[in-house]
Chain A
Amino acid sequence: MVTVSELNSGHMPTWCPGCGDFGILVALKGALAKLSIPPEETVVVSGVGCGSKLPHFIKTYGFEGLHGRSIPPAQGIHLANNKLTVVAVGGDGDGYGIGMGHFIHALRRNMAVTYIVQDNEIYGLTTGQASPTTRQGTKTRSTPNGAIEREVNPILMSLSAGATFVARGFAGDIPHLTDLISQGIAHRGIAHIDVFQPCVTWRKDLPYDLYQKKIYKLEAEGHDPASFDAAMKRAQETERWPIGVFYKAEKPIYTDELPFIKDLPLAKHDISSVDISKYIEEFM
């Protein structure tokens, strides 16, 4: 058994009071406790941004890397030790902006890694610029006349890139989000969970109650997560904002094709004396 309090790092989060990241942190802890994953067997990986400070506020192993680069080390850690639970977290700028290339490629690789995006539709830590998910027309400090370009639709991208678990949660609904994250971690393959994360400082125009008004739960309206077509349709809704599991499929994962780590993770392989004879032979 792992309790939520065991996962407290002892460091107080540095986020603004009311930030959506608190809800995401609580939900992540709840999910790890619910799945009873020992803290030492979890690695929380992040990039750089407000939300990327999260590894310091949860007692697991942590890797707070470079801006936009949470996904590559998460994959490296997973491949090095596929018995670990690897959860990558980061903001929308981190994952869908500078890290977009890594995001798309991670989805098609289908490694057993969970990727939570703290999506607040703004660059917070750099004090309020338009992010890739900032909706067209939105005024921010870098788009004082309204954002000219169209926003990205992460759910649609994720589905089209081949993700096998695609969900969206809301930082203001912790029990629901906890359930989504625990489903994502338990999923065999890559789990992409985009989370509506209200930014109380830079997106006062996107407050909790607006999200409450717009969102609805997919499972409450009979959405079938096994249907790719239905997921694609739901992902394109703009008037109402669906949360829940859009799509879930069981597909072979990347490490299934690596027979030599089936029983023993790479990190446990004995390297004290490697015989290079087989390699050397072709140069004789």
Chain B
Amino acid sequence: MADVNRVNFLIGGPAGAGVASVGLLFAKCLQRSGLEVFGTNDYPSLIKGGHNTYAVSASPTPILSLLGKPDILIALDKKTVEAHALELSEGGALIFDSNKVSDAREIAKRQDITYVGAPLSQMAAAAGGEIMFNTVALGAAMGILGIDFAIIEGMLHKLWLRKGQKVVDSNIAAARAGYDFSKSIVNGGFKARIEFVKREKTLFINGNEASVAGAIAAGCKFVAEYPMSPSTAILHLMAGHERDYGIIVKQTEDEISAANMITGAGFAGVRAMTATSGGGFSLMAEALGLMGMMEAPAVIFNSQRAGPSTALPTYTEQADLLFALHASQGEFPRVVIAPGDATECYVEAFNAFNIAELLQVPVIVLLDKYLSESSQTVEDFRKMPLKVERGKLMSDEQLAGAPQPFKRYELTANGISPRSLPGQKNGLYVSSSYEHDETGFTSEEGENRMKQIDKRATKLSVIPEVFIAPTFHGASASLADIMVVCWGSTKGPALEALRLLEQRGVAARLMHIRYASPFPASTVLKALRAAKNTVILEGNSEAQMRTLILQKTGYYIEKAYLRYDARPFTPEEIAAHVSKLAGRK
């Protein structure tokens, strides 16, 4: 019996061969067929050559990470056959260019799989251009699964229309050729097939794209950024929509400039952001302190990649947590949020801009390569009831009666002071990097110094714990054999692992932490104390969240499953580790 609407897919080839585009198209065809889809890429830091892959898992039910072995493998070169043929699930299919890899059978040494060796380039040339060889391969994958060709046609139409009808037509012809070719080979006999499911439209979106959606929705109007993988797509997306949304997007001379520029823009009353990765964030450290001292709202996205220094530029890691919490000299409040999936990227990006203005603090959103560049199907963001809140901005009327000089840094009960914007009468002040009194004037006096430090520190407590609390998933606290703790992008693989553990008879409960600052200490401590057995999962070698939890709660989580090969967690490996710790095989 064929598996309906459950399939895993992998495409591999050299950089520049369109590996990611075909992978994305494949995923979107499944999304448009009404399935839940997860897609992610793997590539070295170069522009041509090397070995790139894009992997997709699709299912009729929500899917939060890659799951299982590929059923279909498109090999755009020989290397892909060599590297991945053994990964194919039993009875899977291998699509390859029969002219380029004539010895695919000898390399793969697999009797159980279907070989779909098509002269991809020749077929593409016949359809209008050899360059479309990857579209032929895509068509072949679709043919194996028996997807309604109209869906592929629709996708290609949408994708290529801006290049003209001729390009659309030849791409459709190329896909058709591959589709018919593979269909004639498998003849409906493949182990998986796709049947259209009617449902409300979903978004297929990755962490970077979702973060941008959240920023745009929150009214971000100014982006200053210096390109750095894996955050660069944020710059491209924002620049691409500059005129649609009236957002000024400034590529700066360096990250120092970007961070200082958004501080200026925030001071002048515009919601502003920058995005970078660890290296660029390092350069922003001094400006981060400036934001803290000036109480200027600003949002910084740091999509973590493997560090330190240049390290593995296109691979993932969660090792900037403690750095984000402590970057810059001195003490000042900052908010650090680590969303776990695309929807949380949207919501927390939105929240970040609200919090930045409500608390008048810098907000750091920690993404990572895996989260930034993995796409998943999610519910339409427009359904979420999020509201722009700008905090203690003074109106012209309020300022008209304000005593002079204006106390921009007035000592208040919750530490949040009234904020005026340049252009407003009676709100004049100097925003200073020096310690200052309530009016903003430089002060090196001891008592004032302590009062201002305390005032700034108090602001973080304004956020209620319920807002920053971790989320809990899986077995209830009383029934759980083990509590799994994770943060950031590990959420997806960990959630999938819960299901695998359930199949093995292990009742696991997951605590996913989003807010590192302010830290939801009482909720976390209560949950840890209630657990029989606990393990923490982190994508770093030092268990940085464990350190933070210890610091904030006094509770030490003894068991840690740490992954620092710069690759994301997989549900299978998490399940294997956790079940061992839970005393099962």
Number of interface residues of A (CB under 8 A): 55
Q: Are B248 and A261 in contact (CB under 8 A)?
A: yes
- Residue B103 lies at the interface, judged by CB distance under 8 Å to chain A: no
**How far is it, in angstroms, between the C-alpha of A53 and the C-alpha of B436 when the chains are bound?**
13
Q: Are A276 and B248 in contact (CB under 8 A)?
A: no
Q: Are A77 and B265 in contact (CB under 8 A)?
A: yes
**How far is it, in angstroms, between the C-alpha of A279 and the C-alpha of B242 when the chains are bound?**
11
Partner of A276, one of B217, B259, B422: B217
**How far is it, in angstroms, between the C-alpha of A74 and the C-alpha of B250 when the chains are bound?**
14
> Please, which residues of chain A bring their CB within 8 A of the CB of B216?
274, 276, 279
Q: Are B382 and A276 in contact (CB under 8 A)?
A: yes
Q: Are A283 and B204 in contact (CB under 8 A)?
A: yes
Q: Are A40 and B246 in contact (CB under 8 A)?
A: no
Q: Are A259 and B243 in contact (CB under 8 A)?
A: yes
Listed stretches A192-200, A206-214, A265-273; interface member: A265-273
Q: Are B263 and A73 in contact (CB under 8 A)?
A: yes
Mask for A62-89, Cβ within 8 A of B = 1, else 0?
A: 1111100101111111011101100000
**How far is it, in angstroms, between the C-alpha of A74 and the C-alpha of B427 when the chains are bound?**
19
Q: Are A266 and B203 in contact (CB under 8 A)?
A: no
> Please, which residues of chain B bring their CB within 8 A of the CB of A266?
221-222, 246, 248, 265, 270
- Residue A27 lies at the interface, judged by CB distance under 8 Å to chain B: no
Q: How far is the CB of A277 from chain B (nearest CB, A)?
A: 7
Listed stretches B115-123, B140-148, B205-213, B484-492; interface member: B205-213
Q: How far is the CB of A252 from chain B (nearest CB, A)?
A: 16
Partner of B268, one of A48, A66, A267, A279: A267
Most chain B CB neighbours (cut-off 10 Å) among A45, A60, A73, A259: A73
Partner of A80, one of B253, B268, B431: B268
Q: From known contacts A66-B260, A276-B382, infer whether A84 and B217 are also in contact, taking CB-CB under 8 Å.
A: no
- Residue A41 lies at the interface, judged by CB distance under 8 Å to chain B: yes
Closest-by-CB residue of A relative to B203 is A283
- Residue A137 lies at the interface, judged by CB distance under 8 Å to chain B: no
**How far is it, in angstroms, between the C-alpha of A40 and the C-alpha of B405 when the chains are bound?**
13
Q: Are A76 and B261 in contact (CB under 8 A)?
A: yes
Q: How far is the CB of A28 from chain B (nearest CB, A)?
A: 15
Q: Are B213 and A280 in contact (CB under 8 A)?
A: yes
Q: From known contacts A66-B290, A101-B257, infer whether A279 and B248 are also in contact, taking CB-CB under 8 Å.
A: no
> Please, which residues of chain B bring their CB within 8 A of the CB of A217?
none
Partner of B429, one of A45, A61, A77, A284: A61
Q: How far is the CB of A2 from chain B (nearest CB, A)?
A: 13
Q: How far is the CB of A39 from chain B (nearest CB, A)?
A: 6
> Please, which residues of chain A bring their CB within 8 A of the CB of B430?
55-56, 61-64
Q: Are A267 and B269 in contact (CB under 8 A)?
A: yes
Within 8 A of B (CB), among A108-166: none
**How far is it, in angstroms, between the C-alpha of A105 and the C-alpha of B251 when the chains are bound?**
11
- Residue B502 lies at the interface, judged by CB distance under 8 Å to chain A: no
> Please, which residues of chain A bring their CB within 8 A of the CB of B246?
260-261, 266, 269
**How far is it, in angstroms, between the C-alpha of A77 and the C-alpha of B272 when the chains are bound?**
11
Q: From known contacts A63-B264, A261-B246, A279-B213, infer whether A40 and B427 are also in contact, taking CB-CB under 8 Å.
A: yes
Q: Are B250 and A79 in contact (CB under 8 A)?
A: yes
Q: Are A74 and B264 in contact (CB under 8 A)?
A: yes
Q: From known contacts A66-B433, A72-B261, A76-B262, infer whether A84 and B268 are also in contact, taking CB-CB under 8 Å.
A: yes
Number of interface residues of B (CB under 8 A): 68
> Please, which residues of chain B bring their CB within 8 A of the CB of A203?
none
- Residue B104 lies at the interface, judged by CB distance under 8 Å to chain A: no
Q: Are B269 and A279 in contact (CB under 8 A)?
A: no
Q: How far is the CB of A163 from chain B (nearest CB, A)?
A: 16
- Residue A59 lies at the interface, judged by CB distance under 8 Å to chain B: yes
Within 8 A of A (CB), among B513-545: none
> Please, which residues of chain B bring their CB within 8 A of the CB of A1?
none
**How far is it, in angstroms, between the C-alpha of A81 and the C-alpha of B267 when the chains are bound?**
10
**How far is it, in angstroms, between the C-alpha of A271 and the C-alpha of B220 when the chains are bound?**
8
Partner of B257, one of A45, A105, A258: A105
Q: How far is the CB of A181 from chain B (nearest CB, A)?
A: 19
**How far is it, in angstroms, between the C-alpha of A66 and the C-alpha of B508 when the chains are bound?**
49
Partner of A66, one of B209, B261, B287, B442: B287
If over half of B's interface residues share one DSSP class (helix, strand or loop), that class is named, otherwise mixed; here it is mixed
CB < 8 Å A-B pair total: 192
Q: From known contacts A267-B423, A271-B271, A273-B388, infer whether A73 and B221 are also in contact, taking CB-CB under 8 Å.
A: no
Closest-by-CB residue of B relative to A68 is B256
**How far is it, in angstroms, between the C-alpha of A69 and the C-alpha of B257 when the chains are bound?**
7
- Residue B380 lies at the interface, judged by CB distance under 8 Å to chain A: yes
Closest-by-CB residue of B relative to A79 is B248
Q: How far is the CB of A69 from chain B (nearest CB, A)?
A: 4
Q: From known contacts A48-B433, A72-B257, infer whether A274 and B272 are also in contact, taking CB-CB under 8 Å.
A: no
Q: From known contacts A59-B428, A61-B428, A283-B205, infer whether A76 and B422 are also in contact, taking CB-CB under 8 Å.
A: no
Q: Are A271 and B219 in contact (CB under 8 A)?
A: yes
Q: Are A280 and B380 in contact (CB under 8 A)?
A: yes
> Please, which residues of chain A bring their CB within 8 A of the CB of B262?
76
**How far is it, in angstroms, between the C-alpha of A75 and the C-alpha of B224 when the chains are bound?**
11
- Residue B445 lies at the interface, judged by CB distance under 8 Å to chain A: no
- Residue B504 lies at the interface, judged by CB distance under 8 Å to chain A: no
**How far is it, in angstroms, between the C-alpha of A232 and the C-alpha of B271 when the chains are bound?**
41
Mask for B232-259, Cβ within 8 A of A = 1, else 0?
A: 0000000001011110101011101111
Q: Are A79 and B429 in contact (CB under 8 A)?
A: no
**How far is it, in angstroms, between the C-alpha of A266 and the C-alpha of B427 when the chains are bound?**
19
Closest-by-CB residue of B relative to A54 is B430
Partner of B221, one of A41, A271, A278: A271
- Residue A32 lies at the interface, judged by CB distance under 8 Å to chain B: no
**How far is it, in angstroms, between the C-alpha of A18 and the C-alpha of B427 when the chains are bound?**
32
Within 8 A of A (CB), among B66-80: none
Q: Are B433 and A84 in contact (CB under 8 A)?
A: no
Q: From known contacts A76-B260, A80-B272, A279-B216, infer whether A274 and B245 are also in contact, taking CB-CB under 8 Å.
A: yes
- Residue B465 lies at the interface, judged by CB distance under 8 Å to chain A: no
- Residue B392 lies at the interface, judged by CB distance under 8 Å to chain A: no
- Residue B421 lies at the interface, judged by CB distance under 8 Å to chain A: yes
**How far is it, in angstroms, between the C-alpha of A83 and the C-alpha of B405 when the chains are bound?**
24
Closest-by-CB residue of A relative to B246 is A260
Q: Are B441 and A81 in contact (CB under 8 A)?
A: no
> Please, which residues of chain B bring their CB within 8 A of the CB of A10?
405
**How far is it, in angstroms, between the C-alpha of A284 and the C-alpha of B440 when the chains are bound?**
48
Closest-by-CB residue of B relative to A84 is B422
- Residue B381 lies at the interface, judged by CB distance under 8 Å to chain A: yes
- Residue B326 lies at the interface, judged by CB distance under 8 Å to chain A: no
- Residue B552 lies at the interface, judged by CB distance under 8 Å to chain A: no
Most chain A CB neighbours (cut-off 10 Å) among B213, B261, B263, B290: B261
Closest-by-CB residue of B relative to A98 is B256
Q: Are A105 and B260 in contact (CB under 8 A)?
A: no
Q: Are A280 and B382 in contact (CB under 8 A)?
A: yes
Q: Are A284 and B201 in contact (CB under 8 A)?
A: yes
- Residue B432 lies at the interface, judged by CB distance under 8 Å to chain A: yes
Q: A80-B269, A81-B268, A101-B254 are in contact. List 10 more A-B contacts (CB 8 A).
A: A56-B430, A65-B264, A73-B261, A84-B423, A266-B221, A266-B270, A267-B269, A271-B271, A276-B213, A284-B203
Q: B: which residues have CB within 8 A of A? A: 201-205, 209, 212-213, 216-219, 221-222, 224, 241, 243-246, 248, 250, 252-254, 256-272, 286-287, 290, 294, 380-382, 388, 405, 421-434, 440-442
Would you mind naming 5 contact pairs between A and B with Cβ atoms under 8 Å apart? Answer: A66-B260, A69-B260, A72-B261, A80-B222, A266-B248
Q: A: which residues have CB within 8 A of B? A: 10-11, 38-41, 43, 45, 48, 53, 55-56, 59-66, 69, 71-77, 79-81, 83-84, 101-102, 104-105, 258-261, 266-267, 269, 271-274, 276-280, 283-284
